Amino acid sequence: MEAINGVTFEDWGAACGNLAAGMSEEEVCKVLGIEFPVWQKTNEEWSNKLGDLMAEDRSVAATYGNFFTNPKVGKFAGVSADVPSLEDLLAKFPDYDSYLKVSVHQTQASQHGVDPTSVIESYGLNLQTWGQLNMHYMDWYHSYVQNGTEGAGERHKELEALRTKWETLFQEQYKNDAVDLGGDIDF
């Protein structure tokens, strides 16, 4: 795959992932070694080309999505920034159980009128880093359970028991905070 203005697909995808994680465009340009107007043109051209690439090869979509899961690749691999790598996140959330705690907490809290973003922020995450963890653990889940294989049912039950554990905890935590969003509506 050819580079556009000297920027490879990998470096463009990593730039997009780092931007989504909060890196400034100025820093992206510095890492790529290009001026801002060149970045704008390069970004536009890669964005336009992405649809064609995905139409030719579906795996391109997964590759592009992975840049948002782990934007520390290509020229961005050694860049020190406030953008955590997937490895950094997995140090804080090393297993499915720790991930599931946040996921279930967010769901239960939002059902009781709590802003779900504030819940993920209470765990030191933002929307980008939460998205990184979601992508990682969705892939992990499917790889671990392997529907249709021997033992898949038991593995699924094992993971559902973890979910139930956290649902029970957070339902108890929020039991006095019920929200009736439709209580004032008469039909």
Residues 106 and 60 in one domain: no
Residues 61 and 110 in one domain: no
Q: Where a domain ends, among 36, 57, 82?
A: 82
Residues 47 and 105 in one domain: no
pLDDT of residue 177: 76
Nearest residue to 39 via CA among 14, 63, 12: 12
pLDDT of residue 8: 96
Print the domain residue range for 55: 9-82
Nearest residue to 73 via CA among 82, 60, 63: 63
**CA torsion angle 135 136 140 146 (round to 10):** 20
Number of domains in the chain: 2
Average pLDDT along the chain, 187 residues, taken 10 residues at a time: 94 91 90 97 95 90 85 87 78 97 95 91 89 88 88 93 96 81 69
Cα–Cα dist 90/102, whole Å: 13
- Tell me, yes or no, whether 76 lies in a domain: yes
pLDDT of residue 118: 94
pLDDT of residue 180: 63
Residues 112 and 163 in one domain: yes
pLDDT of residue 178: 67
pLDDT of residue 182: 65
Q: What share of the chain is helix, strand, coil (3-state, %, to 5)?
A: 65, 0, 30
- Tell me, yes or no, whether 4 lies in a domain: no
- Tell me, yes or no, whether 120 lies in a domain: yes
Total residues belonging to the chain: 187
Cα–Cα dist 68/2, whole Å: 21
C-alpha distances in Å from residue 178, one per residue of 114, 116, 184: 11, 15, 15
Q: Where a domain ends, among 49, 82, 115?
A: 82
pLDDT of residue 82: 67
pLDDT of residue 79: 84
Per-residue DSSP letter, 95: S
